[in-house]
A and B are shown apart, each in its own frame.
Chain A
Amino acid sequence: EADIYQTPRYLVIGTGKKITLECSQTMGHDKMYWYQQDPGMELHLIHYSYGVNSTEKGDLSSESTVSRIRTEHFPLTLESARPSHTSQYLCASRGTGRNTEAFFGQGTRLTVV
């Protein structure tokens, strides 16, 4: 069982609200990722991090921001939620070295009304 956790699992929020999606892992992984995925669709990389104080934008333009102050924590923040942000957000982490499989959290299903 992977030790990576996302909260909340489900969130319904009004337009214009600020929200933070939490992601934590206890595996000591340096690399962490955020993906946006609509049901049955592809995984869009929106942010990633190689370690503490390192954050990069992914391939999909996103109005969200991330921070990486601690190795185990990689929160995603939406300053002003819009209905177009309705989606599933998946967090993943990977270690370094030969075994570089990614472990995914259970996801946060966000609905903006």
Chain B
Amino acid sequence: GQQVMQIPQYQHVQEGEDFTTYCNSSTTLSNIQWYKQRPGGHPVFLIQLVKSGEVKKQKRLTFQFGEAKKNSSLHITATQTTDVGTYFCAGANSKLTFGKGITLSVRP
């Protein structure tokens, strides 16, 4: 199946700092999805990327799919305390398996 890897698992930033995390696969992905899970909550879909090199923005969040479709990045500009949570990527084949996620904490 399509396995995706996310490293590191935890990151702490000062409010206002930028944050970038990556999702990597050893195989070419047909598409990739990103989800956010707030503490105590359930994962919520953020975005899907399909095309090689695709870039999508949601307010302060920028998502990119690599040219080889083997990696993806999530960049948050000027983090806020509302960005706290765990961000998961998933190789969205039928099986829908997730990376380990990165838990972001933001110091006010």
| Residue from A59, A103, A104, A107 having most chain B Cβ neighbours under 10 A | A104
B97 CB contacts on chain A under 8 angstroms: 45, 58-59
A90 CB contacts on chain B under 8 angstroms: 42-43
Looking at the assembled complex, report how far the CB atom of A66 sits from the nearest CB atom of chain B, in whole angstroms.
15
Partner of A92, one of B86, B96, B100, B101: B96
- B96 with A94: CB separation less than 8 A: yes
- A103 with B45: CB separation less than 8 A: yes
- A101 with B94: CB separation less than 8 A: no
| Residue from B35, B42, B43, B103 having most chain A Cβ neighbours under 10 A | B42
B66 at the interface (CB under 8 A from A): no
Size category of the A interface is: 20 to 34
Question: Closest B-chain residue to A45, C-beta based?
Answer: B97
- A104 with B98: CB separation less than 8 A: no
Interface string of B29-52 (1 = CB under 8 A from A): 001010100010011110010000
Interface residues of B in 64-108 (CB under 8 A from A): 86, 88, 90, 92, 94-101, 103
A59 to B98, CA, bound (A): 11
B100 CB contacts on chain A under 8 angstroms: 41-42
Given contacts A40-B86, A42-B100, A59-B97, 9 further A-B contacts (CB under 8 A): A31-B94, A43-B98, A45-B97, A58-B95, A101-B48, A102-B33, A102-B90, A105-B42, A106-B42
B-side residues, CB < 8 A to A, are 1, 31, 33, 35, 39, 42-45, 48, 86, 88, 90, 92, 94-101, 103
Question: What are 10 pairs between A and B in contact, CB < 8 Å?
Answer: A35-B98, A42-B100, A43-B98, A45-B96, A48-B95, A58-B97, A90-B43, A101-B48, A103-B45, A105-B42
